[in-house]
Amino acid sequence: MIVSVTLNPSLDRTIQVDRLERGAVLRTSAPMLEPGGKGVNLTRALTRNGIESVALLPVGGPEGAELSTLLDIAGVATRFVPVEGRTRSNLTVSEPDGTITKFNEPGFPLSEDDFSVLATTLAGLVSARDWVVFSGSMPPECSEKQLVELMTSVTDLGAFLAVDTSGTALTASIAAHPRVIKPNRAELAEAVGRELDSISDVIAAAQELRALGVERVLVSLGADGAVLVGEHGVLVGESTVLERRSTVGAGDCFLAGYLSKFSLDESDENAALIEALAWGAAAVSLPGTSVPGPGDIASTHVQLVWQPDLDRPFVAT
């Protein structure tokens, strides 16, 4: 089973405009309301594709109640931890050419009691050899110590740890020795403290993090593809998206696709990376934070690049 932990979930509202113009009064489409948070998206994607997954998340206030209802309606297996704070609400503005503008609230702090209940609930969910994925931003005032202790409680139970976060949370998580981390290029650059302008730069940065105790570094590069660096060596892949509609949640689906294969068969890294790229590309082709189902996912436009131009500058921002 794959358990996602989202410490800072959100209720996501997506609207479409013809063109985002600062200072103007704009007409929008009817809003699309969806459950949000990186771990929530990951479990939604896995569930839609028949992979057993449970989302663990704190919820509070009317936004938390609505988030809970939406997940129940979608048939997503969840464990909700009621908290005193209010679940944040995020706004995504989408333009016809695929440009996305996001407005993300910071969320509300979790108390020591909240963390204690989360830890107890997580321990009751996880068995040895399960995968536990910590995803997304951390709530305000969450300390590195609290985060690492929660992650270590998982590995102490014999479960496998994956991490998809950024900033100090990402670098702190290395102390828990995750088997997989999934930064994007900007997050990886922040972790190593320098710009990454080519595939060779990404590979070098990933190797630095592996030297600190990370088993595999899976880097999503958007339109520039992806890089997987691990014990096997280096794999580089790319995908083609015919119609880009929304990149929101694409990285979460990318990781879900990888784990859908890797959690079942660790011997075929190639297949896992191809599946990750296929799920990510499918997500980009869907509106809002929609997650792809079996009918959306295809490896037709996905390939591994066996002799990549390692020093070619990235073309995507």
Q: Is residue 286 part of a domain?
A: yes
Q: Is the pLDDT of residue 317 over 60?
A: no
Q: Which of 125-134, 186-195, 233-242 has the lowest mean pLDDT?
A: 233-242
The mean pLDDT of the chain is 92
In sequence order, what are the beta bridge partners of 219? 227
Q: Which of 197, 252, 265, 311 is catalytic?
A: 252
> Residue range 86-106: average pLDDT?
89
Distance CA 168, CA 104 (A): 18
Cβ atoms of 27 and 156 closer than 8 Å: no
- Record the tokens describing residue 96, joined without a space: 């016809």
Q: Is the pLDDT of residue 245 over 80?
A: no
Distance CA 47, CA 258 (A): 14
Q: Give the pLDDT score at 262.
A: 96
Cβ atoms of 125 and 46 closer than 8 Å: no
Whether 97 is catalytic is: no
266 confidence band (pLDDT: 50, 70, 90): very high
Q: Is residue 81 part of a domain?
A: yes
Q: Is residue 6 part of a domain?
A: yes
> Residue range 287-306: average pLDDT?
85
162 confidence band (pLDDT: 50, 70, 90): very high
Q: Is residue 217 part of a domain?
A: yes
Residue range of the domain that includes 257: 2-304
98 confidence band (pLDDT: 50, 70, 90): confident
Domain CATH number, residue 271:
3.40.1190.20
pTM of the entire structure?
0.91
Q: Is residue 312 part of a domain?
A: no
> Residue range 240-256: average pLDDT?
83
Q: Give the pLDDT score at 316.
A: 58
* Strand duo 131-135 + 2-5: pairing: parallel
100 confidence band (pLDDT: 50, 70, 90): confident
Q: Is residue 315 part of a domain?
A: no
More confident of the two residues 286 and 235: 235
Q: Is residue 264 part of a domain?
A: yes
Largest CA distance in the chain: 55
Q: Is residue 309 part of a domain?
A: no
Please give the sequence-ordered ranges of beta strands (E in DSSP) within the chain, or none if there are none: 2-5, 10-16, 32-36, 53-59, 78-82, 88-94, 100-103, 131-135, 160-164, 180-181, 216-220, 226-230, 233-239, 302-304
Number of domains in the chain: 1
Cβ atoms of 183 and 202 closer than 8 Å: no
